[in-house]
Amino acid sequence: MGAWDQRENYVREGKPSYLDERRFTQVGRSVPRIDGPAKAKGESIYTADMVLPNMVYGKIKRCKEYAHAKIKKIDCSKALALPGVLAVLTGDEAPNKWGIVPASANETALAVDKVRFYGEGVAAVAAIDEETAEAACDLIEVEYEPLPVLLDPFESMARASEVIIHENAPDNIMHKGDQIYGDVDKAFEKCEYILEREFKTGRPQQCYIEPMSAVASYDTQNGLLRLWASSQVPHYLHRQMSIVLEMPMSKIRVTLPTVGGGFGGKGEAASSEFVACLLSRKLGMPVKVTYDRDEVFFTSKGRHPCYMKWKIGLDKDGYIQAVDFDNTLDKGAYAGWGVVVMFYTASMVHLPYKVPNARTHVRNVYTNKPTTGAMRGLGGVQPRFAMECMLDELAEMMGISPYELKMKNAIESGYTAINNMYTPHTEYKKCLQTAVEKSGYLEKHGKLPFGKGIGLAGGYYITGTAYTLYQSYKPHTSVTIKVDTEGGVTVLCAAAEIGQGCNTVMAQMAAEALGVHYEDVHVQTGDTEIGSFDLGSFASRLTYGSGYAIREAAKEINEKLKAMAGGVLGCRADQLIIKDRKIYSMFEPKFTIDWATVVQKYVNSVGALIATGHFSPPRRKGIDIITGNRVQGANIGHSPTFGFSCQVHEVDVDVETGRVYVKKVTEAGDCGTAVNPMSVDGQVEGSIVFNMGAALYEEMKFDANGKHLNPNFHDYKCPTFMEMPDMDTNIVESYDPTAPFGVKETGEGAVQPTFPAITNAIYDAIGVRFYEVPITPEMILKALKEKKEKEAGCGCGCS
């Protein structure tokens, strides 16, 4: 237990404000976002808006005949003969494999020899306009030899002797792993309550509003390549581009214009980006490739469907003793984030409840469907769904409230899980308590009329990863702060603002650390040449990572300014405080000077102030803490700290039509210090609606040949404004003393409880438990019918 556990009250009495590092003035302000006005006015420039002089347009020819086929021949002659066509490109021209995890990288810019999913790109065209490029694509003739199509992971494993998707995966398994901690079988023997269940999750995708777009410009004179792209990971994109184009990274510059959302879907490179660069290098002209919505669906790297078997055992008092978890994931066609997502599902067993014995078997299986990848809350959503539903069921077995069971098992600050995952700080119990109290859960649960229900679930998520995706232990984020008399304060970091609000919170944290105001700070992100290094926007890592680096950089600048101010004021520098655009003595108020005056003096006498701070996450071994043995993949899931969320959903089920209406959601989240509470509310509300869609209707559908049936927003249903529930989101008082400014994540923790909270609420409403999402109206009606038949009895008197 850490020292912070004993303290209930975060405003520490008796500590003077100037010595209290937690009395923030800029952090904690609900300031409007930096990118807000331009977006509201429609003035933001997205990649697809860009037009460069002499720019031409690229388009990708996609395989719409088969989901799995050998490419026998590609004939581009007719396309090349079309007036206005400048170049064509085929996969064999750039065969180097790319992928965000180097060990499993197996994608190519365009298909080489084989297509593995419906809609995969087989060739590309550059032409004077998009229309001509599209017409040229139609003229490319491709000869295929169809192969059997494997759409289901179990079928894929079973038929591996007959047909394989990748040469190096003879069993059609992309990767698998076993993690064993403690003695699970022995623990189960002692359990009073044991529950075994199987769960299945659907195949939603991210549905960012802005489709992928890339503008590439290769200069044949100096051999420099510029790429503007709609990406979450400029660094990884940069790296992959270097591999595929066989160019040093120093000759490539990646820039992000405004990005219209990602949610993980832009968390790896895209074919559009390679094609734009390759065509531009071929032509020496700028090339733009923008996807249509169906291309986004064809290539989208949505959430892995999971087929899970679970066994959870409790002792007679309700304490979890053992968890046995078996997971088969549907990988789709290529590896992508596969290894990472797979081991995350395994790591999710260990929080936010104490699990002393655990065993997981996981495997990620190739199928002829679009590659699955990183989607908001990756690897967490599926196991969380199962675990929180099972705890609800176990509580019922015990005859206690799910709230009581969860409180009993919830972890506390300073907890080390059996896989050596360390949680420096948590207010999870406070989340449970707040959501339960504010929603009236205990008064309503089990007592509402038939058709109305209330459900509780919790969850957590990482605040950044402990490791890069390639073998390197360099800092994950570096931030350079420049202070001068012309630009004022400028923060430079190659981070990706994708709409999540990182630029705004970086400005707030920099203002706090430098003792100026949010409005004084400029933020330059999204450029690999201008900004200092950053890994990218994924794993909810940026507030923590950049916050740490900002604090380090600011420390250096503050010391220089204090020395200068001390000289001017005639007092000791180490007794000076910088706050609210002033530098003053903590003891004698008469020693006060404007911050800007000191900056001016410093610049005039020394020059501009520039400092860079770095953030490296703490390293921990992935081991079984009892035996000390290394466990494969067990370091995946470790994080500097974790965010927590609890949700109570109230639903109305129309028992005649099967429609489920989420009426009210009460959420309480532990995001550490809320740097911008308004943004936190936005993230949390967005998270809830995001997974409400995937819980009830969002699903990519395929026919028996792997063809997409709903690659559009007409038939792929996202929630609309009409489906918005009444939201009561609460930020619980929290401060992680190990974190910069006390921060944690908030963008992905709040997606975790949504599936199980809705599912538990449906059970409370109609007495039917579902083990599969999305829970469609048809499923509800079918289940109600079965329940009715069961209640009526089979007529044999067996009851």
Q: In the complex, which residues of this chain contact another protein (CB under 8 A)?
A: 130-131, 134-135, 292, 656-659, 696-697, 701, 709-710, 713-715, 717, 719-723, 776-778, 781
Give min distance, CB of 707 to another protein, in A.
11
Nearest to 492 by CA among 530, 451, 454, 457: 530
Residue 300 or 401: the one with the smaller Cβ distance to another protein is 300
Cα 606 to the center of its chain, rounded Å: 43
Phi, psi of 299 (to 5 degrees): -105, 0
Between 638 and 708, CB nearer to another protein: 708
Tell me the two tokens of residue 218.
């290769």
Question: Of 20 and 656, which CB lies nearer to another protein in the complex structure?
Answer: 656
Structure tokens at 364: 């990620």
Q: What is the CA radius of gyration of the chain?
A: 27
Gap between the Cα atoms of 34 and 773, Å rounded: 37
**Smallest gap from residue 657 Cβ to another protein (A):** 6
Residue 29: name the closest of 519, 454, 436 by CA.
519
Q: Show the beta-strand stretches assigned E in 230-386.
A: 252-255, 287-290, 306-314, 320-332, 358-366
Smaller CB distance to another protein: residue 317 or 778?
778
CA distance 139 to 558: 63
For residue 294, the minimal CB distance to another protein (Å) is 9
We find the least distance from the C-beta atom of residue 115 to another protein, in angstroms, to be: 21
Cis peptide before 774, with omega less than 30 degrees from 0? Answer: yes
Q: How far apart are CA 234 and CA 527, in angstroms?
A: 7
CB closer to another protein out of 40 and 709? 709
Query: Closer CB to another protein, residue 286 or residue 658?
Result: 658
Q: How far is the CB of 710 from another protein (least distance, A)?
A: 6
Which phi and psi (to 5°) does residue 13 adopt?
-65, 145
- How far apart are CB 697 and another protein at their closest, in Å? 5
- Which residues lie below 8 Å from residue 189, measured CB to CB, with a gap of 6+? none
Short-list 615, 545, 676, 634, CA closest to 36: 676
Helices 595-605 and 542-569 pack at an angle, to 10 degrees, of 80
Q: Which CB atom, from 336 or from 719, has the smaller least distance to another protein? A: 719
Q: Which is nearer to another protein, 131 or 443 (CB)?
A: 131
Give the sign of the dihedral formed by CA 673, CA 674, CA 680, CA 684.
positive
Q: How far is the CB of 134 from another protein (least distance, A)?
A: 5
Q: Which letter, b or e, does each residue of 396-429 get, where b requires 16 or more Cβ atoms within 10 Å of its Cβ?
A: bebeebbbebbebbbbebebebbbbbbbbbbbbb
Shortest distance (Å) from residue 691 CB to another protein: 15
What's the distance, CA 14 to chain centroid? 41
Shortest distance (Å) from residue 300 CB to another protein: 17
CB atoms under 10 Å from CB of 381, counted, come to: 32
**Least spacing, CB of residue 654 vs another protein, in Å:** 9
Strands 121-127 and 56-62, sheet pairing: antiparallel
Nearer to another protein, 2 or 777 (CB): 777
The nearer residue to another protein, 409 or 710, going by C-beta atoms, is 710
Cα separation values, 495 from 256, 260, 746, Å:
9, 15, 17
Q: Based on CB atoms, which residue is closest to another protein, 24 or 755?
A: 755
Q: Give the nearest distance from C-beta 40 to another protein in angstroms.
A: 19
488-492 sheet: strands from edge to edge: 521-524, 488-492, 477-484, 609-615
| Residues ≥6 apart with Cβ < 8 Å to 543 | 463, 502, 505, 509, 675, 743, 744, 745
**Choice between 468 and 710, CB closer to another protein:** 710
**785: three-class secondary structure by DSSP:** helix
CB of 292 to another protein, least distance (A): 5
549: enclosing H helix or E strand: helix 542-569
Cα–Cα distance measured from residue 223 to residue 206, given in angstroms and rounded to the nearest whole number:
36
Sign (positive/negative) of CA torsion 561, 504, 673, 230? negative
Residue with Cβ nearer another protein (8 or 778): 778
> CB burial class (10 A; 0-12, 13-18, 19+) of residue 1?
exposed
Q: For 34-50, what is the HEC assignment?
A: CCHHHHHCCCCCEHHHC
Find out whether 463 and 759 touch, Cβ atoms under 8 Å. no
Task: Tell me how far apart the alpha carbons of residues 113 and 43 are, in angstroms, rounded to a whole number.
Answer: 43
CB of 700 to another protein, least distance (A): 11
Nearer to another protein, 722 or 798 (CB): 722
Whole-number minimum distance, CB 199 to another protein, in Å?
Answer: 22
Enclosing H/E stretch for 471: none
Which tokens go with 191? 């359990």
Of 131 and 185, the one with the shorter C-beta distance to another protein is 131
Q: How far is the CB of 721 from another protein (least distance, A)?
A: 7
Residue 230 vs 255, nearer CB to another protein: 230
Distance in Å, CB of 212 to another protein, minimum? 15
